[in-house]
């Protein structure tokens, strides 16, 4: 269907004057949201874990025609939620062609459009703006000025056009007027200087802006949405109280509540398809990687105020796959199958994402990350091997057995070493995680088993000697030696 090209054609179409004039951006979003709810459609596709928390609150805010703010730690999908609000806008919106602020063809607010309409009448050209172009986003930084957001008077425009500086035709519009009839988002709101936050008062309460003190009233139609880290209130800056008072709804986001939700997010966001290569990603590897984030969030050495972003498991699983891919290229194996040793090889994707407390800084980021990986593997091991007797494996090491494996060894080479460990392959097969026809997966299961026993301190591991018998305290060793000698006598 051909779109109307002039205001005259627009009047003859289904874009009625009453509807376009009386229906604000918030009315439009409310109406489209109601339609989605009635059709049982997903409001924010791809957003996982907020179905019973943040999303119902956002729905209530939009139904109430509120400006809103999302408060949460880093990596909680705040910006993504704001951007997906575009889906609540009409697919196309008519505007006067060439207008910088997307003026309504039936009731323009900028002087340039009013003059054009007075001169050309129904022959005034119109254009149609897609919903994606109606979203304007600004990352708040301390150097953002009122002119950036609201606008400024342009002396060059005044000189070229022969206008007074107070004339509306001399205005250079900022981001906020350019978001007219759309959504204007400000990320990290506390970083915005207090005097600039004051500049948002009028548009939020009275619906207009003034530029450089001249009495130029511009009744903008904008949906204002914000995001912020609650800790920023006392760190880099704060949201001034009068501005908070004008924000209709304050909605708190959070990290995934369950491991399954976290895994779903990570699978969705991580780059797991590697150029059509044969990749097999065992579920227990995915769980172990996701568990790292959960363990880090409760570790006392990690700063709780900073949080542990959901980007951590996403980056880790990508690095894990890359290390497995590197091994496949070196050994010539057909399939990329990650192992527990690949998780340790992904340390660089963990250390940079942890803000440490004093105790953690003293120990070092790498050591803390290793401890967190060990705790995550231990939880995963307990989930899969809690019902399996591993005493034969521990006894083999207690009797003096040692085993060294490397993340660069092929599956065949690893299996050759694993066969020497009494009960190891049997326990791995009993778990049901792999069969003998899947040697690469069997190696990954065996590594999970060995690392889990190490995490439980039933066996020991070092970079020099590999897996060995558990290190016992000297007094305990003396006590056991005394008992053995007494039994012999």
Per-residue pLDDT of 247-256, as tens digits, reads 999 999 999 9
Considering the domain architecture, whether residues 195 and 46 belong to the same structural domain is answered as yes
| In-domain check, residue 342 | yes
Considering the domain architecture, whether residues 364 and 290 belong to the same structural domain is answered as yes
Considering the domain architecture, whether residues 148 and 296 belong to the same structural domain is answered as no
Nearest to 292 by CA among 268, 272, 319: 319
Residue 382 is predicted with a pLDDT of: 96
Point out the least confidently predicted range of 116-130, 185-199, 226-240, 245-259: 226-240
Secondary structure tally for the chain: helices H, strands E? 24, 13
Coil, helix or strand at residue 422: coil
Residue 24 is predicted with a pLDDT of: 93
Point out the least confidently predicted range of 342-346, 420-424, 469-473: 469-473
Which pTM value belongs to this model?
0.89
The share of the chain scoring above pLDDT 90, in percent, equals: 73
Handedness of CA 206, 208, 214, 215 (dihedral sign): negative
How far is Cα 440 from Cα 123, in angstroms, rounded to an integer? 71
Residue 302 is predicted with a pLDDT of: 95
More confident residue, 211 or 74: 74
Residues of the domain holding 450: 259-469
**Average pLDDT value for residue range 193-213:** 83
The number of domains in the chain is: 2
Q: What is the CA radius of gyration of the chain?
A: 31
pLDDT tens digits for range 53-76: 999 999 999 999 999 999 999 999
Considering the domain architecture, whether residues 315 and 169 belong to the same structural domain is answered as no
Considering the domain architecture, whether residues 329 and 237 belong to the same structural domain is answered as no
Considering the domain architecture, whether residues 362 and 267 belong to the same structural domain is answered as yes
**Average pLDDT value for residue range 425-440:** 91
Residue 306 is predicted with a pLDDT of: 87
| In-domain check, residue 80 | yes
- Beta strand 171-173 with 249-252 is unpaired
Q: Are 446 and 385 in contact (CB under 8 A)?
A: no
Nearest to 341 by CA among 406, 438, 433, 417: 406
Does residue 481 carry a pLDDT above 70?
Answer: no
Q: Are 70 and 227 in contact (CB under 8 A)?
A: yes
Here the CATH number for the domain that contains residue 147 is 3.40.50.300
pLDDT tens digits for range 120-177: 999 999 999 999 999 999 999 889 998 899 888 887 777 787 777 777 778 888 999 9
pLDDT tens digits for range 79-115: 999 999 999 999 999 999 999 999 999 999 888 899 9
Neighbours of 299 (CB within 10 A): 19
How far is Cα 442 from Cα 425, in angstroms, rounded to an integer? 8
Does residue 235 carry a pLDDT above 60?
Answer: no
* Token pair 């558990």 in the structure block, residue: 470
Considering the domain architecture, whether residues 240 and 302 belong to the same structural domain is answered as no
Does residue 215 carry a pLDDT above 70?
Answer: no
Question: C-alpha dihedral over 381, 270, 342, 372, to 10 degrees?
Answer: -50
pLDDT tens digits for range 18-43: 778 889 999 999 999 999 999 999 99
pLDDT tens digits for range 351-380: 999 999 999 999 999 999 999 999 999 999
* Token pair 């990986």 in the structure block, residue: 373
| DSSP string across 204-268 | HHTS-EEETTEEEEE---EEEEEEE-GGGGTTT----HHHHHH-SEEEE----SSHHHHHHHHHH
* Token pair 């070196």 in the structure block, residue: 330
SS3 letters for 99-123? CCCCCCCCCCCCHHHHHHHHHHHHH
Considering the domain architecture, whether residues 169 and 208 belong to the same structural domain is answered as yes
Q: Are 339 and 250 in contact (CB under 8 A)?
A: no
How does the average pLDDT of the chain come out, rounded? 90
Does residue 476 carry a pLDDT above 60?
Answer: no
Handedness of CA 354, 358, 363, 368 (dihedral sign): negative
Does residue 489 carry a pLDDT above 50?
Answer: no
* Token pair 């050495």 in the structure block, residue: 301
Does residue 338 carry a pLDDT above 80?
Answer: yes
Does residue 180 carry a pLDDT above 60?
Answer: yes
Handedness of CA 81, 21, 108, 3 (dihedral sign): positive
| In-domain check, residue 476 | no
């Amino acid at each position: 269907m051909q779109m109307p090209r002039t205001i005259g054609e627009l009047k003859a179409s289904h874009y009625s004057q009453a509807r376009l004039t009386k229906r604000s951006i918030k009315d439009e979003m409310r109406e489209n949201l109601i339609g989605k709810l009635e059709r049982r459609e997903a409001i924010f596709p791809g957003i996982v874990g907020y179905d019973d928390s943040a999303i119902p609150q956002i729905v209530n805010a939009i139904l109430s025609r509120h400006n809103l703010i999302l408060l949460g730690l880093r990596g909680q999908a705040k910006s993504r939620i704001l951007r997906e609000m575009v889906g609540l806008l009409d697919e196309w919106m008519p505007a006067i062609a060439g207008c910088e602020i997307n003026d309504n063809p039936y009731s323009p607010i900028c002087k340039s459009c009013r003059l054009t309409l007075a001169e050309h009448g129904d022959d005034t050209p119109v254009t149609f703006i897609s919903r994606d172009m109606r979203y304007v986003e600004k990352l708040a930084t301390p150097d953002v000025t009122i002119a950036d957001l609201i606008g400024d008077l342009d002396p060059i425009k005044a000189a070229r056009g022969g206008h007074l500086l107070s004339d509306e035709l001399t205005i250079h519009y900022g981001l906020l007027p350019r978001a007219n009839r759309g959504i204007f988002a400000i990320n990290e709101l506390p970083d915005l200087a207090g005097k600039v936050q004051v500049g948002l008062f009028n548009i939020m309460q009275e619906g207009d802006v003034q530029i450089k003190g001249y009495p130029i009233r511009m009744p903008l139609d904008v949906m204002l949405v914000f995001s912020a880290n609650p800790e920023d209130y006392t760190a880099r800056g704060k949201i001034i109280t009068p501005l908070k008072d004008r924000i209709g709804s304050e909605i708190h986001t959070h990290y995934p509540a369950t491991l399954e939700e976290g895994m779903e997010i990570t699978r969705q966001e991580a780059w797991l398809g590697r150029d059509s290569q044969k990749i097999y990603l065992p579920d227990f590897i995915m769980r172990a990687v996701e568990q790292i984030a959960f363990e880090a969030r409760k570790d006392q050495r990690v700063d709780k105020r900073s949080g542990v972003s959901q980007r951590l498991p996403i980056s880790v699983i990508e690095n894990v796959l890359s290390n497995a891919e590197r091994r496949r290229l070196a050994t010539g194996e057909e399939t990329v199958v990650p192992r527990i040793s690949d998780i340790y090889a992904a340390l660089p994707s963990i250390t940079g994402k942890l803000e440490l407390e004093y105790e953690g800084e003293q120990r070092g980021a790498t050591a803390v990350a290793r401890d967190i990986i060990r705790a995550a593997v231990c939880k995963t091991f307990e989930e899969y091997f809690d019902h399996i007797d591993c005493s034969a494996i521990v006894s083999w090491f207690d009797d003096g057995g040692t085993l060294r494996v490397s993340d660069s060894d092929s599956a065949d080479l690893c299996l050759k070493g694993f066969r020497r460990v009494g009960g190891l392959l049997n326990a791995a097969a009993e778990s049901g995680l792999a069969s003998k026809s899947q040697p690469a997966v069997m190696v990954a299961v065996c590594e999970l088993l060995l690392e889990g026993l190490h995490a439980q301190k039933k066996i020991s591991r070092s970079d020099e000697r590999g897996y060995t018998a558990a290190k016992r305290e000297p007094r305990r060793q003396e006590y056991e030696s005394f008992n053995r000698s007494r039994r012999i006598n």
